[in-house]
Amino acid sequence: MICRYDSPMPSAKYEHEIRDPVHTFIRVSSDERRVIDSRPFQRLRDIHQLALTYMVYPGATHRRFEHCLGVMDLAGRVFDVIVRHAHRRDEVRQFFPPDEKLQYWRTVVRMGALCHDLGHMPFSHGAEELLPEGYHHEQLSVDVILSPEMQEIWLQIPLIAKDVAKVAVGVKKWPGSESDFSPWDELMTEIVTGDAFGVDRIDYLLRDSLHAGVAYGRFDHYRLIDTLRVLPSADPDKPGKPVIGIERGGLHAAEGLQLGRYFMFEQLYFHKVRRALDIHLKAFLRAFLPAGTYPIDVDAHLRLTDNEVLAAMRKAAEDPAAPGHEPARRIMKDRAFYRVLYVPSADDLTKAADPIGAVHRAARDRFPGCVEKDVHTPVARPMEFAVDKDGAIVSSVAESQILGQIPTARFGYVFITPEKLDEGRRWLRQNIRGILETP
List residues bridging with 411 in a β-sheet.
376
Q: CB neighbours of 279 closer than 8 A, spacing ≥ 6? A: 338, 372, 374, 415
Could you count the other beta carbons within 10 Å of the beta carbon of residue 398? 12
Structural domains in the chain, CATH included, are 14-272 (1.10.3210.10), 338-439 (3.30.70.1370)
pLDDT of residue 13: 73
- H or E stretch at 20: strand 14-20
Q: CB neighbours of 221 closer than 8 A, spacing ≥ 6? A: 74, 202, 206, 253, 257
Alpha carbon distance 48, 43 (integer Å): 11
Alpha carbon distance 188, 181 (integer Å): 10
Alpha carbon distance 42, 438 (integer Å): 54
Sign of the dihedral defined by the CA atoms of residues 264, 270, 272, 276, in that order: positive
Sign of the dihedral defined by the CA atoms of residues 389, 6, 199, 376, in that order: negative
**pLDDT digit of tens for each residue in the chain (439 aa)?**
334 545 445 456 778 999 999 999 999 999 999 999 999 999 999 999 999 999 999 999 999 999 999 999 999 999 999 999 988 888 888 999 999 999 999 999 999 999 999 999 999 887 788 998 889 999 999 999 999 999 999 999 999 999 999 999 999 999 999 999 999 999 999 999 999 999 999 999 999 999 999 999 999 999 999 999 999 987 778 888 999 999 999 999 999 999 999 999 999 999 999 999 999 999 999 999 999 999 999 999 999 999 999 999 999 999 999 999 999 999 999 999 999 999 999 899 888 999 999 999 999 999 999 999 999 988 778 899 999 999 999 999 999 999 999 999 999 999 999 999 999 999 999 999 999 987 7
pLDDT of residue 11: 52
Angle between helices 183-193 and 161-173 (to 10 degrees): 70
Q: 83 near 9, Cβ under 8 Å?
A: yes
- H or E stretch at 42: helix 39-42
Alpha carbon distance 149, 14 (integer Å): 24
Alpha carbon distance 208, 264 (integer Å): 9
DSSP state of 395: E
Alpha carbon distance 376, 190 (integer Å): 25
Reply yes or no on whether 137 is catalytic: yes
Alpha carbon distance 156, 20 (integer Å): 28
* Catalytic annotation, pick one of 116, 137, 325, 360: 137
- Say if strands 392-395 and 386-389 run parallel, antiparallel, or are unpaired: antiparallel
pLDDT of residue 8: 46
CA 231 to chain centre: 25
| One-letter identity of residue 102 | L
